[in-house]
Structure 1
Amino acid sequence: MLRQLELSCSVSTMFSTIPCFCKRGDIIVADEGVHWGIQNGLQLSRSTIVYFKHNDMDSLRSTLEKIMTKNLRRYIVAEAVYQNSGQFAPLDEIVKLKEKYHFRVILDESNSLGVLGRSGRGLAEHHGVPIEKIDVVTAAMGHALATEGGFCTGNARIIDYQRLSSSGYVFSASLPPYLASAAITAIDVIDQNPELLVKMKQNIALLWKGLSDIKGMSLASNPESPIVFLKLEKSSGSTKEDLLLLEKMADRALKEDSLLVVSSKKSFLDKCRTLCLSGTFRY
């Protein structure tokens, strides 16, 4: 039976969840595109970290094959919707590899909760993967649920262990009841108004259509992603110059059109040649 642990700060969710389970001597195989919060959690764990190429299942398979011979605790860490690329994790394939090579999976659903799946339950529902096949699921509640805090879901043993060992839970105040109530209300609103998910998908499609013909730029994220990325079709050859160009574009969009866009300053994927549009479409 699945249980849940709530944390008072969304940022500390991955900061404390990963180090709670992963210790020195363990091995974590992580997607190279994970966001900075996960990266900090990986560093705090003091585990051996091995990165595989972003969303490349051949790279993941090759990495797991090399590690499976070691008699160590082994984890795969991924995001449902990558904050640094707007791409979806191929969760169905990750679960198959997890079962084949006997790894545990930690999945962050922060950007997919309330967005993906028939009822907004996230990437697991989107791919039709039983949630029980994912060992640990985390999410920040400051995105689609529009409140603060985060949560971790797993079986009873996992959650009970976190209550004793998770720094974000043990050494912090409990999640205020009004924030928990706000999150529950947001979930109820999504459940009772399925047309909101339909409207959001229409908004994403409309944004894609509007951005698809920008000269010199191309869309780089998943067409269903709530985080939309544009990238330069052709690099100047200098990461610094590419970043300056993107920052000028972002400044101009804000000044002339009151449109807030953000130039991605850190990306393993395309050396900062990316422009991120996030939060421009809500329910």
Structure 2
Amino acid sequence: MADILEKCRNWKDAKMAMRMGIYGYFQPIESAQAPEVMLNGKRFIMAGSNNYLGLANDPEMKKAAKEAVEKFGTGCAGSRLLNGNTIYHDRLEEQIARFKRKEAALIFAAGYQMNLGVVSALLKKGDYAIVDKLDHASILDGVKLSEGEMVRFKHNDMADLERVLAKIPEEAGKLIVVDGVFSMEGDICPLPEIVKLANKYGAKIIVDDAHATGILGKTGRGTCEHFGLENGEVDLVVGTCSKTFGTVGGFVAGDADIIHYLRHNARSQIFSAALPPVCVASISKALDLIENDTSRRDSLFAKTEKLKKGLSELGFNLGESETPILPVIIGSNENCFKMWKALNEMGIFVNPVVSPAVPPGRALIRVTLMATHTDEQVDKIIASFAAAGKALGLIK
């Protein structure tokens, strides 16, 4: 008889990396998500966090969180549909809708749950989801949970997107779902061209602003603001609260009728416990800080430009990034892990990203700064990459 668990016992990839001392995941951080963190009793410069604006450890954020705990306790003990909805949840949704220039919004317990719920609720039998090949896994999983069909186009390739759209039956429902900023490469989707093709072929658009909210646009409202497309050209804007908002959660913003439908049909929202008020209050405070002060965003881009210039001058390939996500493309999985280990030994915390998460031969070190990093810390990151890269023969 077949043992369904045998695959678990036979999977050796991670164990092999552990034995070789090049396993770079599930690191036990002992301190807050700050520019420097403690790990196994050693101090590291954190260059691998999505806490882009440094808000996860901001005093005002922590004050808002404490006040929410005192008022509502640690959780809601139920779904929002039943007993888990609070005035904080309702107010936050109004705040997100205003921020994203939409009629209404809906929050979820996590960004992953949001994409599962939104995408699967909108796609019915006979509908098509048209997705970029580098879209986040949560988008792809949302399509898989639906009754619709998924077709993929080459990354940011508008000719291939049109080829795909042209093949879909004219009468079929069409939903284009793209990341605003791609989480590994740091590049931005060509949204104006996507809008033109969507109009031509009768498709609707979802833009995932997980890594764009608080970052892109003059006031940090995201990809639509970045391109001047805030007048209904994009049907739904979605995102997570675990990046610039410094906590956890997910959101979708769009027309009131669409949000009303999702509120009652997105299964990952209906059948999940409500986002704890401590997180809701933190997100609300983060929005206040982002809307009222652009200095964090300005600092982040200044520090990122310094780091990007330094790494590029050393000879590292940073791909097509236009954002604070810097992919240092190493090549092979083996060299990527070796580079990670060398940087780790120098006290630099970064993320190794290897295939199949990226295409074969394009393994990379994902580097991200916070607005709160110092110039001295950025200098040390550059110097460490120089030493590690030369030692491994990756640069001259």
Could you state the TM-score of these two structures normalised by the residue count of structure 1?
0.90
Counterpart Cα distance in 2 of 1:9 and 1:86: 22
Query: How far 1:267 moved relative to its partner?
Result: 4.4
Counterpart Cα distance in 2 of 1:231 and 1:260: 13
Corresponding position: 1:257 with 2:358: no
Q: What are the superposed Cα offsets for residues 131-171 of structure 1, whole Å, 9 maximum, x if unpaired?
A: 52211211000000101111111111111111111012110
Tell me, yes or no, if the aligned pair for 1:111 and 1:226 is still in contact at 8 Å.
no
Tell me, yes or no, if the aligned pair for 1:221 and 1:227 is still in contact at 8 Å.
no
Name the aligned partner's letter for residue 350 of structure 2.
L
Which stretch shows the higher mean deviation, 175-184 or 161-170? 175-184
Corresponding position: 1:183 with 2:273: no
Give the secondary structure class of the aligned counterpart of 1:133.
coil
Bigger relative contact order, structure 1 or 2, given CA contacts below 8 A and separation 6+? 2
Counterpart of 2:121 in structure 1 is 20
Match of 1:248 among 328, 331, 338: 338
Say how many residue pairs are matched.
271
Counterpart Cα distance in 2 of 1:158 and 1:278: 37
Aligned counterparts, 1:44-63, within 5 A = 44-63=145-164
Counterpart of 1:161 in structure 2 is 261
Counterpart of 1:271 in structure 2 is 360
Counterpart Cα distance in 2 of 1:252 and 1:36: 29
Aligned counterparts, 1:37-76, within 5 A = 37-67=138-168, 69-76=169-176
Root-mean-square deviation (CA, aligned residues, Å) is 1.7
Counterpart Cα distance in 2 of 1:173 and 1:134: 29
Name the aligned partner's letter for residue 227 of structure 1.
I
Give the secondary structure class of the aligned counterpart of 1:220.
coil
Tell me, yes or no, if the aligned pair for 1:77 and 1:106 is still in contact at 8 Å.
yes
Match of 1:281 among 355, 362, 370: 370
Q: Structure 2 unaligned runs (5+)? A: 1-101, 373-396
Name the aligned partner's letter for residue 117 of structure 1.
G
Counterpart Cα distance in 2 of 1:132 and 1:281: 32
Counterpart Cα distance in 2 of 1:113 and 1:261: 21
Counterpart of 2:320 in structure 1 is 221
Query: How far 1:9 moved relative to its partner?
Result: 2.0
Tell me, yes or no, if the aligned pair for 2:105 and 2:253 is still in contact at 8 Å.
yes
Query: How far 1:280 moved relative to its partner?
Result: 2.7
Q: What are the superposed Cα offsets for residues 15-61 of structure 1, whole Å, 9 maximum, x if unpaired?
A: 11100101232111110011212121121123211111000111111
Match of 2:304 among 197, 204, 213: 204
Query: How far 1:272 moved relative to its partner?
Result: 4.9
Give the secondary structure class of the aligned counterpart of 2:313.
coil
Name the aligned partner's letter for residue 239 of structure 2.
A
Counterpart of 1:138 in structure 2 is 238
Query: How far 1:74 moved relative to its partner?
Result: 0.8
Tell me, yes or no, if the aligned pair for 2:297 and 2:371 is still in contact at 8 Å.
no
Name the aligned partner's letter for residue 211 of structure 1.
L
Counterpart of 1:231 in structure 2 is 329
Counterpart of 1:3 in structure 2 is 104
Name the aligned partner's letter for residue 356 of structure 2.
K
Query: How far 1:178 moved relative to its partner?
Result: 2.4
Q: What are the superposed Cα offsets for residues 228-277 of structure 1, whole Å, 9 maximum, x if unpaired?
A: 11224xx5xxxxxx111111101111112333232233346x42513132
Corresponding position: 1:113 with 2:213: yes
Identity value in percent: 29
Distance change >3 Å, CA 183–CA 272, structure 1 → 2: farther
Tell me, yes or no, if the aligned pair for 2:131 and 2:150 is still in contact at 8 Å.
yes
Name the aligned partner's letter for residue 94 of structure 1.
I
Name the aligned partner's letter for residue 145 of structure 1.
F
Match of 1:35 among 136, 152, 166: 136
Counterpart Cα distance in 1 of 2:268 and 2:367: 27
Counterpart Cα distance in 2 of 1:188 and 1:106: 25
Decide which structure has the larger Cα Rg and report it. 2
Tell me, yes or no, if the aligned pair for 1:253 and 1:261 is still in contact at 8 Å.
no
Query: How far 1:222 moved relative to its partner?
Result: 1.8
Name the aligned partner's letter for residue 54 of structure 1.
H
